[in-house]
Chain A
Amino acid sequence: MGAREYFSESHEIFRQSVRRFVAEKITPNIEQWEEAGGFPRELYLEAARQGWLGLGFPEEYGGTPGDIFHSIVLTEELIRAGSLGLPASLLSHGIALPPIVTFGSEELKRRFVPGVLSGERICALGITEPNAGSDVANLQTRAVRDGDWYVVNGAKMFITSGVRADFITAAVRTGGPGYGGISLLVIETDTPGFSARNLKKMGWWCSDTAEIFFDDCKVPASNLVGEENQGFGYIMSNFQAERLSLAVMCVAAAQVAFEETIRHVKTREAFGRPLVASQVVRHKLVDMATKIDAAREYTYRVADLFQSGVNCVKQVSMAKNVAVECCDFVADEAVQLHGGMGYMRGTVVERIYRDCRVMGIGGGTNEIMKEIISKLILA
């Protein structure tokens, strides 16, 4: 599948190893984990042993060498198990650790990065609040400096891995209103005053999503990531990788739904012939395949740009929207072509349909992507 210009032999070997592991250890269990609302914690340790968690992180903190296309391979293959919640939770460190690695002090990195990359600790990124989602600059969680401590009060919403996390890379208000008063602070979840409640969702069942409360949480001042009141910039730069990975997830999920559908229409008979013999069905499949290819190629292209270090905020935002639209369309058609079965629990396309709906909301809504793009092209 992988285009030659982006994938080398090392990617191909990695792909085969991930695919084998997923087929043996994840796919046979995914249904049960989805229904149970979570996967075993040991999977983090296993993922660390496979070198997945450390991928792209510096070796001195337990990372494994790899480029962005290794990460893409990992995501594509994990999604072959047919769940978007699983990679979202298993790889939640992919959005929670980079600010620490990129902007954090040496001490902070030593304290928090190796434990996560070895699979022993789980981390989550905490930005969104009950009253501030897309409008990040308006977040209200307050951290007040008190000697060597920050005292944190407030709440976070829709936090992936928030229930199981050992620490949260949290956005807090340390200064005045607006984007200039925000900092990133590492908050350990065993801090007195910290609590989390699991939220019930339409999809992503095997990923825990939390509402988090900070009630006079005392956090060491040394847990500050980078400089005080510079958090908004850190968050925005972190969003680029997150959005790109969401785009990759969308395309991969669309591919799985497409393949499931091909299998179904070739075997299911109606009106005396297999579904695939109907022209309308064939054209639907063509539309699906075309959108997937276009979204995939564009996403690869943007990933390549991103890796080269070029500013590609506009392209990342566009890639996310293109991939989300592709995945929504393909999942919907996949359910339709499965008929009644497509509405029943236990069908892969049913799960993907539910799972993909949040892709146009999380990591920046479709509308926020359009705001960003419009500012960049209409400046």
Chain B
Amino acid sequence: MSDDLFGTEEHRIFRQTVRKFVQEELAPRAREFDKMGRIDKSLYPKMGKLGMLGIRYDPKYGGAGLDYSFSAILFEELAYCDNAGVAMGITVHTDMATPALHQFGSEELKQQFLVPAIKGELVAALGVTEPGAGSDVAGIKTRAVRDGDDWVINGSKIFITNAAVADFICLLCVTDPDARYNGYSMIIVPTDSKGFSYTLIDKIGNKGSDTGELVFEDVRVPRWYTIGEEGRGFQQQMIQFQDERLVAAVMAPAGAKRLFDITKEYCENRVAFGKPLSKMQVTRHKFADMLTRITAARELAYHCVRKRMRGEDATLEISMAKLFSTEVARFVADTCVQLHGGYGYCTEYAAARAFVDTRLLSIGGGTDEIMKQIVAKMIGL
């Protein structure tokens, strides 16, 4: 399937490598990570060695110099790690908090932060959302003020993934309140900076990810920690969001397919009214509905991957793909809970966890409503 995307020997080998890591190092410890509320950070250097953390990045920084099709393989295989929170934490590092650093960062900044991030020696987080500004990114208030060669940063961020494990944060700040969209800058803040603190937040799902509220009190970082140009942070983040949303677009259908397979097996074995559930017409039609939607979502995501491989802007398609794959993932999770009956409500079952995990997809990385706003704008309305 999709030989044009994943057809080469290199793709096959890379998928095997990631799959082996996911099946041996992540999946068996999935519930342990839930209890810890985070991934075991010592796995990052292993992922670095396997080439999972710098897939598209320039080899001169330790990246693999590959294209988006290899990233898609990473996202799909991570969906099988049996822990949506862990998969999210890893992809925040690879595709949400570092793309702007790679694309816009200075040589020195990349040597300082990107090189160790690709090796897995440093873990990254992205700090955009604030208590008073989620979808409305331009409404953020965290302020960075110039003081000689330093920035002095004050403010707070909320719902930040990797809050506990991160070594640095790609932080969006206001640097010129009067310059509107040209008044934001993206600044790297190491988490051992004085004045930085975080508290973890408990969530309904994604138990394996450390989500936190970050507080910055007179945090001082050098001005050269600015990613790209001062004043261009908002625009750079909008570009970085495209990579972030592509993760959800590709990973959600893969996760849905995994749950589909688990549930199919359950229904083939569970007997009610004298026959397996899978022999009931209503059940069979549910599976047909699920697979149809999963396939459509996956193909739309692949379309985005192809566009990105060609270097084309895919904002419209990625927004639609995130919206659609989210809807499919939630539909599949809900249907699989239902097909599992009472077991589907018990936390030890994948369907129950998927139900609460997938709920986040409609909110994080840009809500469904924001995706619709983007689509409406881009089609000229």
Q: Do A and B truly interact? A: yes
Contact mask for chain A residues 327-355; partner B; CB cutoff 8 A; 1 contact, 0 none:
00000000110011011111000100110
B132 at the interface (CB under 8 A from A): yes
The binding surface of chain A is classed by DSSP as mixed
The residues of B that contact A339 with a CB separation of less than 8 Å are: 134-135, 363, 367
Are A340 and B355 neighbours in the complex by a CB distance under 8 Å?
A: no
Are A133 and B341 neighbours in the complex by a CB distance under 8 Å?
A: yes
The residues of B that contact A345 with a CB separation of less than 8 Å are: 201-204
The residues of B that contact A201 with a CB separation of less than 8 Å are: 345-347, 352
Are B355 and A357 neighbours in the complex by a CB distance under 8 Å?
A: yes
B132-184 with Cβ < 8 A to chain A: 132-136, 139, 158-159
A361 at the interface (CB under 8 A from B): yes
Are A157 and B368 neighbours in the complex by a CB distance under 8 Å?
A: no
The residues of B that contact A350 with a CB separation of less than 8 Å are: 204
Q: How far is the CA of A294 from the CA of B362 in the complex (A)?
A: 27
Q: Smallest CB-CB separation from B271: which chain A residue?
A: A131
Out of B203, B272, B348, name the residue touching A138 (CB < 8 Å).
Answer: B272
Q: How far is the CA of A344 from the CA of B212 in the complex (A)?
A: 11
Q: How far is the CA of A202 from the CA of B158 in the complex (A)?
A: 24
A146 at the interface (CB under 8 A from B): no
A367 at the interface (CB under 8 A from B): yes
A203 at the interface (CB under 8 A from B): yes
Q: How far is the CA of A349 from the CA of B204 in the complex (A)?
A: 11
Are B135 and A202 neighbours in the complex by a CB distance under 8 Å?
A: no
A199 at the interface (CB under 8 A from B): yes
User: Separation in Å of the A205 CB from the closest CB of chain B?
Assistant: 10
Q: Smallest CB-CB separation from A204: which chain B residue?
A: B345
The residues of A that contact B135 with a CB separation of less than 8 Å are: 270, 339
Are B272 and A133 neighbours in the complex by a CB distance under 8 Å?
A: yes
A229 at the interface (CB under 8 A from B): no
Are B204 and A365 neighbours in the complex by a CB distance under 8 Å?
A: no
B264 at the interface (CB under 8 A from A): no
A349-379 with Cβ < 8 A to chain B: 350, 353-354, 357-358, 360-362, 365-367, 370
B359 at the interface (CB under 8 A from A): yes
A158 at the interface (CB under 8 A from B): yes
Q: How far is the CA of A33 from the CA of B138 in the complex (A)?
A: 39
Q: Smallest CB-CB separation from B213: which chain A residue?
A: A344
* Given A133-B272, A336-B367, A343-B205, also A270-B341 (CB < 8 A): no
Contact mask for chain A residues 297-320; partner B; CB cutoff 8 A; 1 contact, 0 none:
000000000000000000000000
B5 at the interface (CB under 8 A from A): no
Residues of B in contact, count (CB < 8 Å): 40
Are B337 and A357 neighbours in the complex by a CB distance under 8 Å?
A: yes
Out of A133, A138, A157, A340, name the residue touching B363 (CB < 8 Å).
Answer: A340
Are B360 and A343 neighbours in the complex by a CB distance under 8 Å?
A: yes
Q: How far is the CA of A203 from the CA of B202 in the complex (A)?
A: 15
Q: How far is the CA of A134 from the CA of B273 in the complex (A)?
A: 9
Are B158 and A361 neighbours in the complex by a CB distance under 8 Å?
A: no
A189 at the interface (CB under 8 A from B): no
The residues of A that contact B282 with a CB separation of less than 8 Å are: 367, 370
Are B342 and A336 neighbours in the complex by a CB distance under 8 Å?
A: no
Q: How far is the CA of A345 from the CA of B211 in the complex (A)?
A: 12
A269 at the interface (CB under 8 A from B): yes
A128 at the interface (CB under 8 A from B): yes
A280 at the interface (CB under 8 A from B): yes
A200 at the interface (CB under 8 A from B): yes
Are A271 and B139 neighbours in the complex by a CB distance under 8 Å?
A: yes
Out of A132, A158, A354, name the residue touching B204 (CB < 8 Å).
Answer: A354
B235 at the interface (CB under 8 A from A): no
A67 at the interface (CB under 8 A from B): no
Contact mask for chain A residues 205-237; partner B; CB cutoff 8 A; 1 contact, 0 none:
000000000000000000000000000000000
Contact mask for chain A residues 187-205; partner B; CB cutoff 8 A; 1 contact, 0 none:
0000000000001111100
User: Separation in Å of the A288 CB from the closest CB of chain B?
Assistant: 15
A162-206 with Cβ < 8 A to chain B: 199-203
B369 at the interface (CB under 8 A from A): yes
Contact mask for chain A residues 223-264; partner B; CB cutoff 8 A; 1 contact, 0 none:
000000000000000000000000000000000000000000
Are B204 and A270 neighbours in the complex by a CB distance under 8 Å?
A: no
A135 at the interface (CB under 8 A from B): yes
Q: How far is the CA of A335 from the CA of B344 in the complex (A)?
A: 21
Are A200 and B341 neighbours in the complex by a CB distance under 8 Å?
A: no
Q: How far is the CA of A271 from the CA of B138 in the complex (A)?
A: 8
The residues of B that contact A133 with a CB separation of less than 8 Å are: 272, 341-342
The residues of B that contact A134 with a CB separation of less than 8 Å are: 272, 341
Are A365 and B338 neighbours in the complex by a CB distance under 8 Å?
A: yes
Q: How far is the CA of A284 from the CA of B291 in the complex (A)?
A: 29
B356 at the interface (CB under 8 A from A): yes
Out of B132, B272, B359, B369, name the residue touching A269 (CB < 8 Å).
Answer: B132
Out of A131, A272, A354, A361, name the residue touching B356 (CB < 8 Å).
Answer: A354
Q: Smallest CB-CB separation from B372: which chain A residue?
A: A280
The residues of B that contact A158 with a CB separation of less than 8 Å are: 342, 345
Are B272 and A135 neighbours in the complex by a CB distance under 8 Å?
A: yes
The residues of B that contact A361 with a CB separation of less than 8 Å are: 337-338, 341-342, 344-345
User: Separation in Å of the B378 CB from the closest CB of chain A?
Assistant: 17
The residues of B that contact A370 with a CB separation of less than 8 Å are: 282
User: Separation in Å of the A367 CB from the closest CB of chain B?
Assistant: 6
Are A343 and B363 neighbours in the complex by a CB distance under 8 Å?
A: yes
* Given A202-B355, A336-B363, also A343-B342 (CB < 8 A): no
Q: How far is the CA of A293 from the CA of B281 in the complex (A)?
A: 33
User: Separation in Å of the A166 CB from the closest CB of chain B?
Assistant: 23
Are B347 and A200 neighbours in the complex by a CB distance under 8 Å?
A: yes
The residues of A that contact B368 with a CB separation of less than 8 Å are: 336
Are B338 and A360 neighbours in the complex by a CB distance under 8 Å?
A: yes
User: Separation in Å of the A208 CB from the closest CB of chain B?
Assistant: 13
Q: How far is the CA of A50 from the CA of B159 in the complex (A)?
A: 42
User: Separation in Å of the A89 CB from the closest CB of chain B?
Assistant: 15
Are A200 and B273 neighbours in the complex by a CB distance under 8 Å?
A: no
B129 at the interface (CB under 8 A from A): yes
Q: How far is the CA of A73 from the CA of B136 in the complex (A)?
A: 41
Are B359 and A340 neighbours in the complex by a CB distance under 8 Å?
A: no
Are B356 and A202 neighbours in the complex by a CB distance under 8 Å?
A: yes
Q: How far is the CA of A271 from the CA of B136 in the complex (A)?
A: 6
The residues of A that contact B205 with a CB separation of less than 8 Å are: 343
Are A128 and B363 neighbours in the complex by a CB distance under 8 Å?
A: no
The residues of A that contact B129 with a CB separation of less than 8 Å are: 340
* Given A270-B139, A335-B359, also A157-B342 (CB < 8 A): yes
* Given A133-B272, A269-B132, A335-B359, also A343-B204 (CB < 8 A): yes
Are B363 and A365 neighbours in the complex by a CB distance under 8 Å?
A: no
7 residue pairs of the A-B complex, CB under 8 angstroms, read A131-B271, A157-B342, A269-B136, A271-B139, A272-B139, A344-B204, A367-B282
Q: Name B's A-contacting residues (CB within 8 A).
A: 129, 132-136, 139, 158-159, 201-205, 271-274, 282, 337-338, 341-342, 344-348, 352, 355-356, 359-360, 362-364, 367-369, 372
Ranked nearest first, the 8 interchain pairs of A and B with the lowest CB-CB distance are A345-B202, A158-B342, A270-B136, A135-B272, A340-B159, A200-B347, A133-B341, A358-B345
